Amino acid sequence: MLLCADWVLPISSPPLPEGALLVSEGVIRAVGPVAELRARYPTEETRGFPGCALLPGLVNAHTHLEYSAFRGFARPSGFGPWMLNLLRARRRLGTEDYVASALWGAYECARSGVTSIADTSYDGWPVARAARSVGLRARVYLELFGVDDARLPATMERLEEDIERLRGERGETLGAGEAYPGPSPAPSGPGSGGPRMEYGVSPHAPYTVSARLYREAARFARRAGLRMATHVAESRAEVRLLMRGGGPIAHAYRAVGLWKGSRWSPPRVSPVRYLDGTGALGSDMLAVHAVQVSGEDIAVLAGAGAVVAHCPRSNLKLRCGRAPVAEMLAAGAVVGLGTDSLASNDSLDMFAEMRAALAVSKERAAAAGALTEAGSTASTPTPLTAADVLRMATLDGARALGWERLVGSLEVGRRADIIAVRLGDGAAVPQPHARPQGPRITVDDPTETFVRSATADDVRMTMIDGRVVSEGDAPPPHVLAGLNAARERLSLPPI
């Protein structure tokens, strides 16, 4: 099939006006001008998207889809009070609520142009089944907690059992394929075709995981060939806890009886230094947030080859600060973009996340410039560009997950994870046999225009492995009903 649009944004090469893609057997076979590809493949069915751009599917580098029912739960607040409220609210939901929540979140991802997710989950299977049901490409990291090393053997035993159980459930879905033609059970090998499902290991954070548990988790993951993720340096409260002890995080965990702190003392180093000291930091570790980091911390992250998931809207909502992403990129770190959960964000809209990343970077640069004018000798970081944040949401997100040879760019040989997004005010109704004759949207810089104006509602088609999984449709009624039942238990209004 030929997919044609006013623009093709390959990410790995310059934007292409009047572009087209040839897709066959779930793979991108050709990329080029519409006229050229139509001449080379005259018998191919053509599907046109006038007024649209074709892009690689978006990569959400950090989600918690099980928390989708919490949308609207969090008002702007400090990290400690938010954590305490979340810990208390979580107890009001049962397993079936988290299953429904994850399923709605997976549909919302597909509707919004997200084709790949990296999700962190305690149980794992609700998210895994939801992703399979919708057809998302996913890695699900299983969370580990524990500051009491007396419980470490039981924690590691549970992890091994859960990984084996999840691998045995590879073909199970949540029965949501009624609305979208669901994929076949997904193989998971490096050269496999269908929507990909992988598992990973996620020691939760430096304030909930002992140094020994970090070491054991990393040892297990590396023996098993699994990648890792951890929340690190998210808030000032976390830095305070590790450097001095006490503070809002300790209060929240003691208030709900999860952590008495009697077996824990502050290491008196930064969260990044703590993580590095355990041996868990490396190219297989996704460092989520990395907001409260110094220049030395950035050097440690980059030197270890660690990759970062930047979640600017969540960080702003929880008053965690503005991550120094430009400085990380300058140091050679790979940074992807994530929404985090709807317990700390307003939507799973990656377009809004791109704009937030731009705004945060601009604000940091302005603040640094003001200090320079006041006599500071610190260098002023160059703000991120539209091309930077679009790359973070696509190819660099794929690199952060180790999937850059599969997805993240529109190149010959990559999997056909493709989205069509309305660009500007053009009519953007898909035409099954349209033959666009030229760009209907004339712009000087399509990347700039796209990043500045597009929203999740502008996504007209989401394709994964050559199969259309969404055309902007709302989730099926039973999926929305399940989500709203969970929201009722949280005393939140229906969506």
> Which residues lie across from 52 on neighbouring strands?
422
Domain layout of the chain by residue ranges? 2-56+409-477, 58-401
Residue 438: per-residue pLDDT: 42
Give kind and range of the element (H or E) at residue 285. Answer: strand 285-289
Whole-prediction pTM value? Answer: 0.91
Give me the pLDDT at residue 259, please.
65
* DSSP track, 438-478: S-SS--S-HHHHHHHH--GGGEEEEEETTEEEESSPPPPHH
How far apart, in Å, are the Cα atoms of 374 and each of 52, 194, 295, 378? 46, 56, 20, 11
Residue 459 and residue 473: Cα distance in Å, rounded? 10
**198 strand-pairing partners:** 139
Within a 10 A sphere around the Cβ of 235, how many other Cβ atoms?
A: 27
pLDDT on residue 368: 79
| Residue 195, pLDDT score | 46
pLDDT attached to residue 274: 98
What are the CA-CA distances from residue 196 to residues 49, 171, 182, 328, 411 (Å)?
A: 27, 12, 13, 29, 19
CATH topology of 2-56+409-477 equal to that of 58-401? no
Adjacent-strand bridge partners of 53: 7, 421
Tally Cβ neighbours within 10 Å of residue 135.
29
Instruction: Output the pLDDT for position 193.
Output: 43
Distance of CA 401 to the CA centre of its chain: 10
**Nearest-angstrom CA–CA distance, 336 and 325:** 10
Domain 2-56+409-477, CATH homologous superfamily name and number? Urease, subunit C, domain 1 (2.30.40.10)
| DSSP structure class, residue 150 | G
Residue 40 tokens, joined: 């080379």
Q: Give the pLDDT score at 171.
A: 58
Instruction: Name 203's bridge partners.
Output: 144
Residue in this structure with the two tokens 């991802």, named with its chain if needed: 109
- Output the CA–CA distances (angstroms, integers) from residue 403 to 139, 237, 305, in the order listed: 10, 33, 16
Enter the DSSP assignment of 253.
H
Determine the longest span between alpha carbons in the chain, in angstroms: 73
Q: Which backbone phi and psi does 28 adopt, to 5 degrees? A: -80, 120
Which pLDDT score is estimated for 138? 97
Query: What tens-digit pLDDT sequence spans the chain (495 residues)?
Result: 999 999 999 999 999 999 999 999 999 999 999 999 999 999 999 999 999 999 999 999 999 999 999 998 877 789 999 999 999 999 999 999 999 999 999 999 999 999 999 999 999 999 999 999 999 999 999 999 999 899 999 999 999 999 999 988 765 565 433 332 333 333 333 334 444 899 999 999 999 999 999 999 999 999 999 999 999 999 999 999 999 998 999 888 888 776 655 567 899 999 999 999 999 999 999 999 999 999 999 999 999 999 999 999 999 999 999 999 999 999 999 999 999 999 999 999 999 999 999 999 999 999 877 666 555 556 667 899 999 999 999 999 999 999 999 999 999 999 999 999 998 754 333 444 344 444 444 556 889 988 999 999 999 999 999 999 999 988 999 999 999 999 999 999 999
Query: Is residue 138 within 8 Å of 198, Cβ to Cβ?
Result: yes
Residues 83 and 43 sit within 8 Å (Cβ to Cβ) = no
Helix 236-244 to helix 79-90 angle (10° resolution) is: 100
If residue 95 lies in a helix (H) or strand (E), which one and from where to where? helix 95-111
Domain 58-401 has CATH 3.20.20.140: yes
Q: What is the pLDDT, as a whole number, of residue 429?
A: 39
